[in-house]
Amino acid sequence: MQTTQWSDDGFLDGLRRQGDLLADAAVARLIQERDISEVNRLFQVMRSDDQPLPPDLPAPLQDFIDRTNALPAGVDLARVARGEAVFMRHAFPAALVLLAKSLPEGYQAPCLTEILMISRDLARSPYDRLLGVLQMLVRVCSIHGFQPAGAVVLTAQKMRLLHAGVRTLVPRHRPRYEKTHGVPVNHEDMLATLIAFSYLVVDGLQRLEVELKDDEAEDYYYLWQVFARMVGIHPADEPDSTAYIPRNLAEAAEFYASYARRHYVEAAGNPSGVILAKDNLEMLQSMIPKPLSALGLHAMPQIYMWDLMGAEACGRLGILPVSGHKVLKGLLITAVRTEQWAADHLPAKPVEAFSQMVFQGLIDQQYGGQVEFLIPDDLATLHRLAPEKR
């Protein structure tokens, strides 16, 4: 297989040295004109993906919003619509893949886990971070999100400002981070994260034997190619450039293999990753209804993590294999259909049944009572997962 720049350590090292000049300048100006406490307000204002920006936004942030309030040039909206349709058809298993593969695989990289552990958000409230990321996935992939009145532009702007805020805080909390790992929230790490939401989701769906044609997979990936530019992954002052983004899933796979080679380590060298993976698993387990959990199916999230990530990744994250793996998987569909609330709502395939059950947990628990999990109208099928109790 012919290699490209996505296997070139020199090129990838260059990505690690780059942040987001425009967003960083906006936050630096905010601190200069106000004070460092404004970073806390920045997190409060920008954190909620579903809320509009306040009318009294400070001038540095408003200037940034005004300068970035458009899609990149040349976006193929017809192809975007096809990618959105792919997600709509496979929303439930895609969300399962995100929570059981895309996010935890990234916990193998200390350059990511050290950032995540600064605030310990995941350890204190797994719903707050994990379901926030899932909410972002739903918003980016929902129908009409890339239209002028859609949610994707605002989502990208908020993400860029939040990342700029993180880059401001890291030197205080992890003074050796940049010497060891490069610029916090750099282009390589950001690209790896978006590849996890795109290429790894496609890979996970294929592992689960979800029917996905090659052109459908590429159209879904195209959504994230566009979004990658919108969150600042491009050469400085070239917002329309695709030079820093793999052109297709084959190049995305090459980049991901390079990223894993460069940054994934064993559990002993990454205790934060083990903690984050444990919290991820416990959150998924909490979504299993108690009657099914009593039957032993609380192990299903662990089984799916092994199926989706494999033994090597699970070993690095301290996720143990499950005794009776195949037998428990075979019992799943029978067990969920014994639950009266599920009888009319779950399909025949076990993966569909389990992923819909996970979504039921999200709706029922709503971030543990803290933040509502919001579902766009065009994902109306999800509403059927919260029927009245019989």
Residue type, 327: V
R_g (Cα) of the chain, nearest Å = 21
| pLDDT, position 296 | 73
The C-alpha atoms of residue 360 and residue 287 are separated, in whole angstroms, by 8
Looking at residue 35, what is its pLDDT? Answer: 74
Alpha-carbon span 139 to 134, nearest angstrom: 9
pLDDT for 193 equals: 96
Supply 384's token pair: 């059927």
Q: Is 265 left (phi over 0), alpha (psi -120 to 50) or beta?
A: beta
Extract the runs of DSSP E, i.e. beta strands, from 184-280. none
Residue 12 contacts residue 258 (beta carbons within 8 Å): yes
Q: According to the model, what pLDDT value does residue 128 have? A: 67
Residue 59 Rama label (left phi>0; alpha psi -120 to 50; beta): alpha
Cβ atoms of residues 60 and 27 within 8 Å: yes
Residue 268 tokens read as 């002993």
Q: What is the pTM of this model?
A: 0.86
Per-residue pLDDT of the chain (390 residues; tens, 9 = 90+): 567 999 999 999 999 999 999 999 999 998 888 876 777 777 776 665 556 777 888 899 999 999 999 999 999 999 999 999 999 888 888 888 999 999 999 999 999 999 988 765 544 565 667 777 877 888 888 878 898 767 899 889 989 998 998 898 899 889 999 999 999 999 999 999 999 999 999 999 999 888 899 999 999 999 999 999 999 999 999 999 999 999 999 999 999 999 999 999 999 999 999 999 998 999 888 888 787 787 777 888 899 999 999 999 999 999 999 887 777 766 665 555 454 344 445 454 666 667 776 766 665 554 443 334 333 333 333 333 333 333
